[in-house]
Chains A and B, each alone.
Chain A
Amino acid sequence: MRTPIAYFVMLSGILFAIGSVGVLIRKSALLIFMSVELQLNAVNLALVAFSRMNGDLRGQVLAFFSMVVAAAEVVVGLAIIVSIYRRRATVNVDDARELRW
């Protein structure tokens, strides 16, 4: 018997919520980054689940795209974080607040 769609959606929602909270409350750029990844994967999970429910492969294709883009984004994001760390020996995002008025 198939696992009901609701389980997947709920899991996706829980993961997304954890990710969101992580983004909002963590100070470390690395952890914020991981939280973003969590959100992305939550969305991917929802996409795949709905795709399977509808018997339509487009959702899964979109999930692949999302993963590829996420991989590229990780490369860039980690590079930025590393270079921030090299300059100021910390990745606390509250310290990097020069870009304001």
Chain B
Amino acid sequence: MVAESVGLVPDPNQAMQVLWLVPLLPLVGAVINLFVSKRLGKAAGWLAVVMMALSFAVAVLAVKGLLDAPEGERLFLKHLSDWISVGSLRVNFDLRLDALSATMILVVTGIGTLIHVYAIGYMDGDGRFGRFFAYLNLFVFFMLMLVLGANLLVLYLGWEGVGLCSYLLIGFWFDKTANANAAKKAFVTTRVGDTLMLVGLAVVVMKFGTLDYEVIFGAAGSTLTKSAATVISLLLFAGAVGKSAQLPLHVWLPDAMAGPTPVSALIHAATMVTAGVYLVVRMHPVFDLSPVALTVVTVTGLVTAIYAGTCALGQDDIKRVLAYSTISQLGFMFLAAGLKAYSAAIFFLVAHAFYKALMFLGAGSVMHGMHEETDLKVMGGLWRRMPYTAITFTLGALALSGVPPLAGFFAKDAVLEIAQSNSEWGYYFLGTLAAFISALYMGRLIFLAFYGTARSEAAEHAHESPPVMWIPLVLLAVGAVTVGALATHPEGLLATFLEPISGLVPEGSEGLSTPVFYVVALLVTFGGLGTAWFVYGSGRVDWLSLRVRLAPLHRLFANGWYIDEYYAALIVTPGKAIAAFTAYRIDVGFIDGIVNGIGSAFRRLAGVGRNIQTGFVRTYAAAVFVGAIAIVVYVGFRL
């Protein structure tokens, strides 16, 4: 035993003791790359990858240690340092490893490592290569703090940190105005949710006197009234809405595609945007107390899933299709969370992380092979030129559409099954509609991009990306295909693992019989894909003229239902008007007026007084003389 713990075989329990290495390693990589990346050159990328891989290894060992523990005791708390101590409030820098955070760190470090490898190929030749990896590593550090924190404030630290890295990476090519604006938009939009979330944290402190999960979970049932639980849940959910790009704060995510593609894959698909789902699942003991909050979560998710699906149908930019698809998929996760199927939400999160990261990287590979072309209209037939990308991308798309036995099939159907088994027919019907739209836009994407005939010179001369880029694609595709085994049904492996944290999946006894349910699910999936094939893949329909015929609908979808325009009219324009009013009327007119008025009054007074100064020496001498005589006369008369 002793030999084992000091020998070559690392002891998983020790790995749990050094849990802090998991976030620390990416941080070290980030710091090194921030300061000396210029000298490292290409090695900067590999340094980042090594840090990620080591972090992943430690995470695997730590999770193994967690699994070795008996089932009721799978919780490991690590006190790192005291942080804040004000009055009776104590907030410590603590890490918490349980089934939920274990799942999350494996996703973040595992998929993160692959994306880092890919980025070495993708960012090759960029002038700020090392800086990119510094930001990427920093992002992973904050993301790990977010999921590993043992209290809400550590989570919030990570939460804001990933927001910062998201901002830095969306605007990585900040010399283009559009990118810089997209970065600002993302930062400001999520800030709306974050502010409400901070208020939520304050309410938690008011009610519980602490931010520690353990205390909150233990006392939630007895401490909170239903309305207090509703207030806390909704405020926290507001943060989740911002971060996870749900209606009405989703507008930043499509624009965030301005960032480099590995960023879109890592931050805006696989990890950061799922932080909202993580938050809801993590805080589910509070959400559980409030039916109102759960309904809000469900409805928000459902509406977003359908809304974003329709938007994805109207996009021509391959990355924007994926961005809206991500929003839609996150909606599915919130739908699951709102139905109290927390383990289903997390399984969806894991599955989505695989296939969506895969598809973003595939899109990046397409862009790489076509000289930064993102327009689907000029693609087509790419599978001949870039087979690895096409095959892996197709696997990802099929997984998302819900083709068995790929991951998405189980993930989506777990959610829908819970909806229908609890007789939530409205949710089930609308969820199925969203699933149909998902299959439709995914089919449209792959048929337009990879199949059919090439529609441009660039598509004919596209080339496959280097192995450093397509090998991660293959590994992610393997994940997207196999990860479904974790949860082949709502009581699967992952659900059992998560159960102590996420609670039982509330699977009702009603609803459709299993065969009927699966037949419906498959009909929806293949119906969507088939329709997409008929319109975009078969060559029998001229989809461009179809688009002209459906122009108003297409414009609606392409512009995201004009929500940006509504915001511009309702919020941005009045906001700018108010800013202009305060800046030019109140500040310049009034406040500056007072200051300038005082100044100019004294200037005028001085303008009168300074005429005394003539500059003639003899005038001054005469003044002195007259003054001396005056004094003498005065003194003489007084005497």
Q: Which residues of A contact B (CB under 8 A)?
A: 20, 23-25, 27, 29, 32, 93-94, 96-101
Contact present for B622 and A93 (CB under 8 Å): no
Given contacts A94-B617, A101-B611, 19 further A-B contacts (CB under 8 A): A23-B618, A23-B625, A24-B621, A24-B625, A25-B618, A27-B618, A29-B617, A32-B621, A93-B616, A93-B617, A94-B618, A96-B617, A97-B614, A97-B615, A97-B616, A97-B617, A98-B615, A100-B610, A100-B614
Q: How near does chain B come to A95, taking the closest CB pair, in angstroms?
A: 10
Interface residues in B573-622 by Cβ distance below 8 A to A read: 610-611, 613-618, 621-622
Query: With the chains together, A27 CA to B617 CA distance in Å?
Result: 9
Q: Which of B615, B622, B625 contacts A100 (CB 8 A)?
A: B615
Alpha-carbon distance between A25 and B614 when the two chains are bound, in angstroms: 16
> How far apart are A21's CB and chain B's nearest CB, in angstroms?
10
- Expressed in whole angstroms, the Cα–Cα distance for A32 and B617 within the complex equals 10
Specify which chain B residues have a CB less than 8 angstroms from the CB of A29 in the assembled complex.
617
Q: Give every chain B residue within 8 A of A98 (Cβ-Cβ).
A: 615
Shortest Cβ distance from A96 into B: residue = B617
Question: Which single member of B614, B615, B622 contacts A24 (CB below 8 Å)?
Answer: B622
Contacts of A93 in B (CB 8 A): 616-618
Interface residues in B, total, Cβ within 8 A: 11
B618: chain A residues within 8 A (beta carbon): 23-25, 27, 32, 93-94
A23 adjacent to B621 (CB under 8 Å) = yes
Chain B residues lying within 8 Å of A25, measured Cβ to Cβ, are: 618
Instruction: Show the binding face of B for A, using Cβ within 8 Å.
Output: 610-611, 613-618, 621-622, 625
Contacts of A27 in B (CB 8 A): 618
The distance in angstroms between the C-alpha atoms of A24 and B625, with both chains bound, is: 9
Interface SS of chain B: helix
B621 engages A99 (CB within 8 Å): no
Q: How far is it, in angstroms, between the C-alpha of A23 and the C-alpha of B617 when the chains are bound? A: 10
Residue of B nearest to A26 (CB): B618
Chain B residues near A101 (CB-CB < 8 A): 610-611, 613
Contacts of A20 in B (CB 8 A): 625
Q: Is the CB of A94 within 8 A of B611?
A: no
Question: What's the Cα separation between A19 and B617 when bound, in Å?
Answer: 16
In the assembly, what is the distance between CA of A23 and CA of B613, in Å? 19
Write the chain B residue with the least CB distance to A36: B621
A94 to B614, CA, bound (A): 10
A93 smallest CB distance to B (angstroms) = 4
* B617 cross-chain contacts in A, Cβ below 8 A: 29, 32, 93-94, 96-97
Alpha-carbon distance A20/B610, docked complex (angstroms): 26
- How far in angstroms is the closest Cβ of chain B from A65? 20
CA distance A98 to B625 in the complex (A): 22
State how many angstroms separate the Cβ of A94 from the closest Cβ of chain B: 6
7 A-B Cβ contacts within 8 A?
A23-B621, A24-B625, A32-B618, A94-B616, A94-B618, A97-B616, A97-B617
4 closest Cβ contacts across the A-B interface? A97-B615, A100-B615, A101-B610, A93-B617
B125 to chain A, nearest CB (A): 63
In the bound complex, how far is the Cα of B618 from the Cα of A93, in angstroms? 8
